[in-house]
Amino acid sequence: MSDVVNGYLEAMQAINDRPDHGYTFEFLKMKGARNAVDASKQHFGALCNGTLNEIDINGLIGILERWFYEKGYASKDYRVEKFCELLSHHLGDDVIYYHVGAVLNGYYNDADCITFQVKKPHGMIYYGLELGVND
């Protein structure tokens, strides 16, 4: 699953890359976490300030639009909608989205981190989405 999602993110990254700065978009399964805060701290490391704010799908869409349309295209197309469909297909419907409080650590000039908490019959699974840019 992560390969498919990361393939899409690579395309969005390439669209936005410029000679003077580069983007990092990455989606990974967070292993061995007991809860969303642990998952975020383990995965995002120094980027995570330990705070998580639950957001709805519209909050997620707003964050994705900011990154997928960084170059300021005049009209928005289907990119965010298709990415959300892809996530929904792989993660299912029982997902809580958390916007992770980020600390810019010198590598990124700007970043957003999202933790996905997915309820499965055998417990919770966590995934992380890191969106960042450096100059």
Encode pLDDT of 28-53 as tens digits: 999 888 899 999 988 888 888 888 99
- pTM for this entry: 0.87
Least reliable range by pLDDT among 33-37, 71-75, 101-105: 71-75
| Domain layout of the chain by residue ranges | 2-134
Q: What would be the CATH architecture of the domain defined by 2-134?
A: 3-Layer(aba) Sandwich (3.40)
Q: Are 80 and 60 in contact (CB under 8 A)?
A: no
